[in-house]
Amino acid sequence: MELGLKGRVALVTGASKGIGKATAISFAREGAKVVLLARTAADLEVVAREISSEYGVPVLPIACDITIADDVKRAVETVQNHPDFGRLHVLVNNAGSAIRRQDRQLLWEDDDWRADLEIKMIGYLRVIRDFLPLMPRDGTGRIINITGAAGISTWSPALTHGLNNAALNHGTGYLAQDLVAEKITVNAVIPGLIATEWRQYWAENAGSATGVSREEFLEKFCKEKGIISGRWAQPQEVADVIVFLASDRASYINGAKIMVDGGIHVNAR
């Protein structure tokens, strides 16, 4: 299938690891120019080098914390002023944090709640608002928000992640309507359990804490969660959906919330 992405500019936030990294590489494979955002410059350089040597497309790594307004403004200027880039067809809002604490989130301090909500709930809107002027109004503009299954059902301990993801699922529909006159589609991808680097550590540790192998732990976990496919997904399985939504083939998909979760949502626990 010809996706029509060759020569387009695609920006991925959180592009140095996990789903974001797989997505950035997948855009490059389709011949798109890629802009990579994350906070850690050294990690971005590794991905940028991999993309350049493997696919030979222009790649622009920019160290940027999406919770810092000036950082995002600087990133916009960098893209706008770069001769190979200048504008942006596809914006993938993907940056996020791992679930770092296992304690009861209801009892956190206000600042701890805010720190988590700043990244996705506010950070994603900030990135959209600031990059919007660079997006074409010719039907090629795509915004894709990566939310998560914790925004659909209860995932413990993920109160703040759930609030972020539920808000973004709502915001996706709102923005699809808001931007329809500008011919920019806005969709959400809702991953379930994805085998990113931090999830690999999590499964390894959770297995050894209960005296079983990683595989045994995962099998039991998927059953308990109601993941009907019975396994986690590879980051590439999410990236493939994101790239399709960014393509010309997805021109009539707008305001959608697409679950890539192995069927958690159909199987009540």
Ligand X SMILES: NC(=O)c1ccc[n+]([C@@H]2O[C@H](COP(=O)([O-])OP(=O)(O)OC[C@H]3O[C@@H](n4cnc5c(N)ncnc54)[C@H](OP(=O)(O)O)[C@@H]3O)[C@@H](O)[C@H]2O)c1
- Kindly identify the residues of this chain, within the stretch 163-192, that bind ligand X according to CB under 6 A: 191
Question: Which residue in 3, 29, 31, 43 binds ligand X (CB under 6 A)?
Answer: 43
Q: How far is residue 181's CA from residue 191's CA, in Å, rounded to a whole number?
A: 29
Closest residue to bound ligand X by CB: 18
Of residues 96 and 207, the one with the C-beta less far from ligand X: 96
Q: Which helix (H) or strand (E) holds 37?
A: strand 33-38
> What does the per-residue mask of binding to ligand X show for 190-209, with x meaning CB under 6 A?
-x-xx-xxxx----------
- Shortest Å, Cβ 84 to ligand X: 22
Of residues 115 and 132, the one with the C-beta less far from ligand X: 115
Size of the site for ligand X (CB under 6 A): 33
Q: How far is residue 218's CA from residue 180's CA, in Å, rounded to a whole number?
A: 42
Q: How far is residue 14's CA from residue 191's CA, in Å, rounded to a whole number?
A: 15
For Cα atoms 83, 87, 91, give the angle at the middle one, nearest 5 degrees. Answer: 130
Q: CA distances (Å), 73 to each of 20, 82, 96, 126, 186, in order?
A: 21, 14, 19, 9, 21
- Kindly identify the residues of this chain, within the stretch 127-156, that bind ligand X according to CB under 6 A: 146, 148-149
Query: With binding defined as CB under 6 A, does residue 262 bind ligand X?
Result: no
- Most distant CA pair in the chain, distance: 56
- Kindly identify the residues of this chain, within the stretch 61-80, that bind ligand X according to CB under 6 A: 64-67
Tell me the two tokens of residue 207. 């297995």
> What does the per-residue mask of binding to ligand X show for 231-260, with x meaning CB under 6 A?
------------------------------
Alpha carbon dihedral 11, 174, 258, 254, in 10-degree steps, equals -80
Residues that bind ligand X (CB under 6 A): 13-20, 37-40, 43, 64-67, 94-98, 119, 146, 148-149, 191, 193-194, 196-199
